[in-house]
Amino acid sequence: MAATVNLPSVLARLAADQKSVQAAGSTLGEVVSDLTRRYPELGPRLRDEKGQPYPYVIFYVNDEDVRFQGGFQAPIRDGDEVVVVPAIAGG
Amino acid sequence: MTALQEAVASRTGGLEPKSVAFEQPERSGVGTIQPVDQACRLCHAPAPAGPSSICEKCLGPLEPVYDPGRRLPSRAEIESRPHTLWRYREWLPFRGTPVVSLDSGFTPLLDAPALARELGVARVWVKNDAISHPTASFKDRVVATALNAAIAFGIRTVGCASTGNLANSVAAQAARAGLKAWIFVPEDLELGKIIGTSVYGPNLVRVRGNYDQVNRLCSQVADRYGWGIVNVNLRSYYGEGSKTMAFEIAEQLGWRLPSAVVTPMAGGSLITKLHKGLREFRDAGLVSGTLPRFYGAQAAGCAPIVNAVVADSAIEPVVPNTIARSLAIGSPADGRFALEAIRSSGGFGAAPTDPEIVAGIRLLAETTGVFAETAGGVTVAAARRLAQAGRLRPEDEVVLCITGNGLKTIEAVRGDLPEAPVIAPKLRELVALVERTQGPASPAEVN
């Protein structure tokens, strides 16, 4: 399965200045692992030391907040769009 | 091309938006204000002053860093200044003097004895930002600081993701400052908040989705266009404006602290900043004693922070379902900091139901003469719950933070109020009405 991962500017710098990256995996966690393998500096920005998502870095798969979809266990299908958003906004 | 890009293109004559480069100021040299540098609230890494609120090291939120050696004013010096939020400028994240939004702040602090009796506490004060200038909510404070930061950074297009009050304030203050505005709100917002935004002439975009979805979109907008989205990439400077509500409370109480503060929570920023503001005043020697207990109020239909307080757990996001739309943020960005403020101060939380919220609006109006929006109803209803549970005590002096005006959310109470009777312009019809309402008049009452 291949998904398109859209990164904010602050993370794109760690992925060869690409704001949109293809990554493979059948779950979001696998997609993040694929990204981390190819762009090692992204890893510690996307998941904590236990391999879990940070509370302040939010992932959306096809506009759905993955915190309601099983987190890193959220399934990924071919052509899915993943958006990464730092959770600093609100109010 | 997305719907948003199409909308932008239609407004810009099809010009391609800039990606991250910021527009240059049209009136350079006017401003003398300079935002301070920042640091990460989580990893404490330093970051330069700029329109970014994300730590590049850990993606945590940035906050301004103040020079601990800066000169601070005395009580008398503050009291001699104009009655605006800028009288506390040494605790706002700038050097120099503000250039726009000079008139906001210093709303009344009302003694509310009838409400105190209802709640069973010694004293209640109502901090009434329902009459804040210019748009009748506490958001006027944060927008005032955010727009000064925007101008200092040379940004000429500002915006926000909003549940309504922020939209009103960004639209109004941007119009006055001569800035362009792009404002994003959930599609189903109350009519008063839609009209109360569009009247100022911004680019108002209604998004099919809830606030959290609007918020996500705005994070992407800030990243793509380089606009100054006040609660996204200007958030570090924006949030500090909320502290002025705490400063005013302390000053208006005669330079002292209440024993408890009840405040509504949406993203969780306000309660955090109120706590920080009172701590800063105490550290500066302007007030003394124990900091108040901070109590957070959310609607039962959207209570991620209160749920965490009650369960003594971490915050789990929720899908909002409440009439209190200004608080309908299911994924509170500052929730963890709100929890810290509540727990470290010995406070708690309460989440009243929608009928309780309407009753809270009416209780405040009928006892204190203040018409609050739904968030105010949440605050009053939460205070009632906290008092009934013994969390607010008979000896307490409680400040209730009323953050928005009820005229913006009349839909919430309209169905709960009696229809006003209609009569002909004849005295006998009025006499009949009075007698139906309160019984026959005694001779002493009739001239």
Please state, in angstroms and as integers, the Cα–Cα distance from residue B246 to each residue in B138, B255, B427, following that order: 12, 11, 51
> What is the rounded average pLDDT of the residues B262-267?
96
Nearest to B260 by CA among B325, B177, B142, B350: B350
B7-16, B273-282, B359-368: segment of lowest average pLDDT: B7-16
Please state, in angstroms and as integers, the Cα–Cα distance from residue B310 to each residue in B63, B173, B304, B347, following that order: 28, 38, 10, 11
- Sorted by where each begins, the domain ranges of chain A are 2-86
- Assign B17 a pLDDT band (cuts: 50, 70, 90): very low
CA atoms within 13 A on the CB side of B93: 32
Please say whether the beta carbons of B148 and B101 come within 8 A: yes
Strands (E), B223-350: 228-229, 260-264, 293-297, 349-350
Q: Is B442 exposed, middle or buried (0-12, 13-18, 19+ CB in 10 A)?
A: exposed
Residue with tokens 């996500």: B216
Beta bridge partners of A86: A57
- Tens digit of each residue's pLDDT (9 = 90 or more) over B145-162: 999 999 999 999 999 999
Cα of A24 to nearest chain B Cα, Å: 23
Separation between Cα atoms, residue B429 and residue B35, nearest integer Å: 65
Cα of A55 to nearest chain B Cα, Å: 9
A90: chain B residues, CB-CB within 8 Å: 161, 215, 231, 266-269, 329, 331-334
Residue with tokens 């939010």: A58
Can you read off the two tokens belonging to residue B343?
């727990």
Separation between Cα atoms, residue B96 and residue B245, nearest integer Å: 21
A67: chain B residues, CB-CB within 8 Å: 316-317, 331
Please state, in angstroms and as integers, the Cα–Cα distance from residue B157 to each residue in B36, B188, B218, B221, following that order: 21, 25, 14, 12
Indicate the residue of B42, B59, B268 with minimum beta-carbon distance to A45: B59
Instruction: Specify the higher pLDDT residue, B320 or B14.
Output: B320
Which CATH topology does A2-86 take?
Ubiquitin-like (UB roll) (3.10.20)
Q: Do B315 and A68 touch (CB under 8 A)?
A: no
- Tens digit of each residue's pLDDT (9 = 90 or more) over B157-184: 999 999 899 999 999 999 999 999 999 9
- The helix (run of H) or strand (run of E) holding residue B95 is strand B94-95
Cα of B39 to nearest chain A Cα, Å: 14
| pLDDT exceeds 70 at position B2 | no
Q: Do A56 and B229 touch (CB under 8 A)?
A: no
Indicate the residue of B56, B59, B269 with minimum beta-carbon distance to A91: B269
Provide the percentage of residues in chain B whose pLDDT is more than 70.
93
- Its ipTM equals 0.85
Q: Do B219 and A90 touch (CB under 8 A)?
A: no
Please say whether the beta carbons of B27 and B100 come within 8 A: no
- Predicted TM-score (pTM) of the model is 0.90
- Tens digit of each residue's pLDDT (9 = 90 or more) over B30-73: 458 999 999 999 899 999 999 999 998 888 899 999 999 999 99
Indicate the residue of B53, B62, B231 with minimum beta-carbon distance to A91: B231
User: Which SS3 state, helix, strand or coil, does residue B185 take?
Assistant: strand
- Tens digit of each residue's pLDDT (9 = 90 or more) over B188-244: 888 999 999 999 999 999 999 888 889 889 988 988 998 999 999 999 999 999 999
Please say whether the beta carbons of B412 and B256 come within 8 A: no
Chain B contacts in chain A segment 32-91 (CB below 8 A): 45, 54-58, 60, 63, 65, 67-68, 83, 85-91
What is the interface size between A and B, counted as CB pairs within 8 Å? 86
